[in-house]
Amino acid sequence: MSENNETNSRSTDDSASCETSRRGFLKTGTAASTVAAVGFGTPSLSLARSANAAGRDTIKLGLIGGGGRGTGASIQAMNTQSGNNVELHAIADVFENRADLAIEQCTSEHEGKVKVNADSKFIGLDGYKRVLDSDVDLVILATPPGFRPLHFEKAIDAGKHVFMEKPVAVDAPGIRRVLAAGEKAREKKLMVQVGLQRRHEPIYKDTIKQLQDGIIGDLLVSRVYWNNNGVWNRPRSPEDNELQYQLRNWYYFNWLCGDHIVEQHIHNLDVINWLMQGHPTKAQGQGGRLVRTGSKNGEIYDHHAVEYTYENGHKMFSFCRHMPKCWSAVTEFVHGSNGWAHLSEGTIYDKDNNVIFQAEFDKKKKHDGHQQEHHDLFASIEAGEYVNEAEYGANSTFTAIFGRLATYTGKEINWDECLAKGPSLANVDEMTSFDAVAPVQPKADGSYAIPTPGADASKLLGFEKKAPPRKKGKGKGKGKGRGNGKGKAKG
Ligand SMILES: NC(=O)c1ccc[n+]([C@@H]2O[C@H](COP(=O)([O-])OP(=O)(O)OC[C@H]3O[C@@H](n4cnc5c(N)ncnc54)[C@H](O)[C@@H]3O)[C@@H](O)[C@H]2O)c1
């Protein structure tokens, strides 16, 4: 399906109401009646608007976290072809060279639309506050995810619409905070989009619809993979203190990244949550680090394998590995009572492996979700359709965090308990300058503590995980069961 078809399939059916809606969104600060008609905006939202010569309204963007994705998302937002003129007006980053590079790259793509100047470029850990204090309408949140709950909450408090990258948190308190801020956004009618771009790709949308409509019967088991070589590693520079080093090499520190199961595999976990219209309730798993060892790799694992169970008994088997020269796969499969599907290919088979459905797609745009999600967001703004993806963004992020807790602890764990009691990995609210103490510290040899399954459970979970009661007659040293080296094993 083409991008235009996607836009055309929206519920808005007449261009006049579309125009009213767009202006309703843009004028939310002043025209309460228009707002009510289209369901947008709050009186507290201050939007200084101007229409350009072509009669297009301007949406002012603020970027918080001007790295690779923040730059890409800003360019994609400015690429959109809705009736609005999207411009970048402010940027915050902890490092000036990253902010400058983002400005340079955005300018090279959209020279006339980048309006950031010395007064709207904010450097440092509290730079985000200055962007939120400015007159931007929509903020792109693209720092490492450890800061996302704080930035999202404050953006909603400040009355900004939000595009935030996945993952939306790294720990249970962060998820609770995002869920609460997401609700507040709904009350204030502030748009929230999450960078889980597969949800915007026609190939997934069409395939998932077929599966949810029952084309292969009951969905029994799924398999999801993010197996590849891994990502960059940024060296410590001599002038960096520990906090600066961790902020630069953030992928390897859980308070910033959440481990790669959270950082990347979330995409595949989210596809199955979407398909199942829910999230797992139980998980158990195993993982560790075999190849990517050494202090430069911080505290994260290089592989995780998790068995997740959904409320209805569906099992999702999840595998993610960052190891060069091994089998690579970033994809999802589901098996049903009457067949199976390869979701990322949009192909559905019957039990005899005959293709019974193939999603149509434009080869060049097969997985062009990064651009499509921005087309969708700004088209929704134009059409006056309210969008809030915070809840599923939070649930899919917690699915990944939940998996990490399963592999780090080696226990079978329960969603509700982990979400309610899980501890915070860092107090980023208090981290306002590079003088703050990094939440994890290297040991004397420069290495960082690595979670040990079976040993660190209470600390990692935030509650005592009691061992299941032993069955009578199987006590240590007393029983006849296998494994104690004393009894006579049967069979
Ligand atoms: N949806 C996707 O497919 C996709 C792809 C890539 C990255 N991402 C997500 O985007 C986010 C950023 O990833 P990236 O690849 O751009 O990383 P990056 O390292 O290139 O960029 C992160 C930027 O944030 C800045 N930063 C760190 N802490 C900050 C703070 N407190 N305030 C302001 N700026 C801060 C860094 O200096 C850096 O410039 C991550 O959550 C990542 O998962 C999503």
Residue 171's pLDDT is 98
At residue 303, the 3 state secondary structure works out as strand
Ligand 1 mean position, distance from CA 54 (Å)? 34
For the CA of 72, the closest atom of ligand 1 is 16
The 3-class secondary structure across 448-472, one letter per residue, is: CCCCCCCCCHHHHHCCCCCCCCCCC
Pick the closest to residue 259 from 410, 106, 146 (CA basis).
146
At residue 74, the 3 state secondary structure works out as helix
Closest residue CA from atom 21 of ligand 1: 67
Dihedral through CA 219, CA 221, CA 222, CA 223, nearest 10?
-160
Pick the closest to residue 68 from 98, 91, 107, 93 (CA basis).
98
Tokens found for residue 406: 């399963």
Q: Tens-of-pLDDT digits for all 491 residues of the chain? A: 232 222 222 222 223 233 333 334 443 322 222 232 233 333 333 333 444 445 568 999 999 999 999 999 999 999 998 878 999 999 999 999 999 999 999 999 999 999 999 999 999 999 999 999 999 999 999 999 999 999 999 999 999 999 999 999 999 999 999 999 999 999 999 999 999 999 999 999 999 999 999 999 999 999 999 999 999 999 999 999 999 999 999 999 999 999 999 999 999 999 999 999 999 999 999 999 999 999 999 999 999 999 999 999 999 999 999 999 999 999 999 999 999 999 999 999 999 999 999 999 988 888 899 999 999 999 999 999 999 999 999 999 999 999 999 999 999 999 999 999 999 999 999 999 999 999 999 999 999 999 999 998 999 999 988 777 777 655 444 434 343 333 333 33
Give the global pTM.
0.88
Closest residue CA from atom 11 of ligand 1: 142
Residue with tokens 């199961």: 261
Dihedral through CA 38, CA 40, CA 45, CA 48, nearest 10?
-50
Q: How many CA atoms lie within 13 A of 92 on its CB side?
A: 21
Exposure class string for 279-295: b at 16+ Cβ within 10 A, else e: bbebbbbebebeebeee
Residue 33's pLDDT is 26
Residue 474's pLDDT is 52
Ligand 1 mean position, distance from CA 114 (Å)? 20
For the CA of 431, the closest atom of ligand 1 is 31
Contacts of 176 (CB under 8 A, 6+ apart): 419
Which amino acid, one-letter code, is at 66? G
Ligand 1 mean position, distance from CA 49 (Å)? 29
Closest residue CA from atom 13 of ligand 1: 69
Sheet with strand 303-310: strands edge to edge: 355-358, 347-350, 339-342, 329-336, 219-228, 315-322, 303-310, 280-288, 413-414
Residue 465's pLDDT is 81
DSSP 184: H
Ligand 1 mean position, distance from CA 484 (Å)? 50
Does any ligand 1 atom lie closer than 6 A to the CB of residue 69? yes
Sheet with strand 85-93: strands edge to edge: 121-123, 85-93, 58-64, 138-141, 161-164, 192-194
Residue 53's pLDDT is 45
Closest residue CA from atom 27 of ligand 1: 143
The burial class, CB within 10 Å (0-12 / 13-18 / 19+), for 350 is: middle
Residue 96's pLDDT is 98
Does any ligand 1 atom lie closer than 6 A to the CB of residue 23? no
- All domains in the chain, ordered by first residue: 3-199+370-388 (3.40.50.720), 201-365+395-430 (3.30.360.10)
- The answer to whether 158 and 181 have CB atoms below 8 angstroms apart is no
Does any ligand 1 atom lie closer than 6 A to the CB of residue 434? no
Closest residue CA from atom 5 of ligand 1: 69
- The answer to whether 407 and 261 have CB atoms below 8 angstroms apart is yes
Contacts of 120 (CB under 8 A, 6+ apart): 89, 90, 91, 131, 134
Pick the closest to residue 68 from 152, 167, 165 (CA basis).
165
Tokens found for residue 441: 């510290």
Does any ligand 1 atom lie closer than 6 A to the CB of residue 67? yes
Does any ligand 1 atom lie closer than 6 A to the CB of residue 193? no
Counting ligand 1 atoms within 8 A of each CB, the residue from 76, 91, 93, 148 with the most, and so the one to mutate, is: 93
Distance between CA atoms of residues 263 and 272, nearest Å:
17
